[in-house]
């Protein structure tokens, strides 16, 4: 009986191995087919990209020439009659007038800003000078006061010293 079970187990293992090999072979085959399709797409995409670039190289100058032609035709439309020419000249004049007025406004605005900044800086400079002058005057006043106080103290000390010396000079003579 042990032999039959072993044989059955071997047979089952063999079938499982065969099924696994078959699945793996199928997967490899499908992967190879997909890789071949991907390579074909890449080659086709590369050729299409080259064709698109070549087409663009031709179409861009043609399109630019057509746009330039349209602009010339559009510009010439207003100059076909005397009234059209006068109308276009008036339009140009208005546009120039508007541009000039805009430039003048910008110039005035800039000038005003510069003048304002100059006044602010001048005011700041004046304040700084006044503050520094005030501080220097206070320092000079304090120094003068200290000097006068020290001079007075020195004079008082000198007078006391002179009085003491005179006392000592006069005291030994009377003793």
What spatial distance separates the first Cα and last Cα of the chain, rounded to whole Å? 158
Q: Going by C-beta distance under 8 Å and a sequence separation of 6 or more, which residues neighbour residue 67?
A: none
Measured between alpha carbons, how far is 141 from 100 in angstroms, rounded to an integer?
61
Tokens of 120: 């602010």
Measured between alpha carbons, how far is 129 from 135 in angstroms, rounded to an integer?
10
With a cut of 90, say whether residue 44 has pLDDT above it. Answer: no
In a domain, 38, yes or no: yes
In a domain, 12, yes or no: yes
In a domain, 113, yes or no: no
pLDDT for res 2:
53
pLDDT for res 40:
77
Measured between alpha carbons, how far is 41 from 35 in angstroms, rounded to an integer?
10
Residue 85 near residue 79, CB atoms below 8 Å: yes
In a domain, 147, yes or no: no
pLDDT for res 71:
86
Ranges of beta strands (E only) in 16-164 are: none
In a domain, 142, yes or no: no
pTM over 0.95: no
In a domain, 166, yes or no: no
- Residue-range definition of the domain harbouring residue 11: 1-54
In a domain, 41, yes or no: yes
The number of domains in the chain is 1
Instruction: Give the pLDDT confidence of 23-41 residue by residue, as tens digits.
Output: 998 998 888 888 888 887 7
Instruction: Give the pLDDT confidence of 53-87 residue by residue, as tens digits.
Output: 888 888 888 888 888 888 888 877 777 888 888 88
């Amino acid at each position: 009986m042990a032999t039959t079970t072993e044989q059955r187990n071997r047979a089952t293992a063999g079938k499982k191995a065969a099924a696994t090999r078959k699945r793996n072979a199928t997967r490899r085959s499908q992967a190879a087919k997909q890789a071949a399709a991907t390579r074909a797409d890449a080659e086709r995409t590369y050729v299409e990209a080259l064709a698109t670039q070549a087409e663009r190289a031709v179409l861009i100058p043609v399109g630019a020439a057509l746009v330039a032609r349209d602009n010339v035709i559009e510009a010439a439309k207003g100059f076909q009659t005397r009234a059209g020419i006068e109308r276009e000249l008036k339009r140009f004049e208005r546009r120039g007038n508007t541009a000039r007025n805009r430039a003048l406004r910008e110039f005035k605005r800039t000038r005003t800003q510069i003048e304002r900044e100059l006044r602010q800086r001048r005011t700041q400079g004046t304040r700084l000078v006044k503050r520094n002058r005030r501080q220097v005057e206070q320092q000079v006043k304090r120094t003068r006061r200290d000097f006068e106080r020290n001079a007075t103290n020195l004079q008082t000390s000198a007078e006391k010293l002179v009085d003491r010396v005179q006392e000592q000079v006069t005291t030994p003579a009377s003793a």
